[in-house]
Structure 1
Amino acid sequence: MHTEGFDADTAALFVISVAADLAGMHPQTLRQYDRLGLVSPSRARGRGRRYSARDIAQLREVQRLSQEDGVNLAGIKRIMDLENQVLALGQRVEELETEIAHVRQQARRIFAAGMAGDIVATPMGRRPEQQRSTALVVWKPGR
Structure 2
Amino acid sequence: MEQFDQNTPLFAISVAAELAVMHPQTLRDYDRIGLVVPARTGGQTRRYTMRNVAQLREIARLSNEGVSLEGIRRILELENQNAELNQRVRDLEQALANELMNRPGARVFAAGEQGVESLARGRRPAKQNSVVLWRAR
Question: What is residue 58 of structure 1 aligned with on the other side?
Answer: 55
Extract unaligned runs of 5+ from structure 1.
111-122, 127-138
Aligned equivalent of 1:43, options 26, 35, 40: 40
Aligned-partner SS, 1:86: helix
Please give the secondary structure, in 2, of the residue aligned with 1:25: coil
Equivalent residue letter for 2:70: A
Shift of 1:98: 2.4
For the Cα contact (< 8 Å) 1:12–1:42, is it kept in 2?
yes
CA distance in 1, matches of 2:42, 2:25: 21
2:121 matches 1:124: no
Give 1:96's match in structure 2, choosing from 69, 92, 97: 92
Shift, 1:93, TM fit: 1.4
Tell me which residue corresponds to 2:75: 79
Query: CA offset at residue 63 of structure 1?
Result: 0.7
Per-residue CA deviations over 1:58-90 (Å, capped at 9, x if unaligned) read 1111111111x2111111111111111111111
Following superposition, the deviation at residue 106 of structure 1 comes to: 6.0
Distance 1:81 1:97, change over 3 A: same
Distance 1:98 1:31, change over 3 A: same
TM, length-normalised to structure 2: 0.68
Number of equivalenced pairs: 113
Provide the rounded CA distance (Å) in 2 between the counterparts of 1:29 and 1:6.
26
SS of match in other structure, 2:35:
coil
CA contact (8 A) 1:65 1:71 kept: yes
Aligned partners of 2:12 and 2:46: how far apart in 1? 6
Quickly say closer, same or farther: Cα 1:65–1:103, change in 2 above 3 A. same
In structure 2, C-alpha distance between the alignment counterparts of 1:34 and 1:101, rounded to whole Å: 40
Counterpart amino acid of residue 5 in structure 1? Q
**Separation of aligned partners in 2, 1:14 and 1:98:** 32
Q: Residues of 1 paired with 2:8 and 2:98: CA distance?
A: 33
Aligned equivalent of 1:5, options 3, 6, 18: 3
Report the AA paired with residue 6 of structure 1. F
Task: Verify: 1:27 aligned to 2:16, yes or no.
Answer: no
Gaps in structure 2 of 5+ consecutive residues:
111-120, 123-137
TM-score, scaled relative to structure 1: 0.65
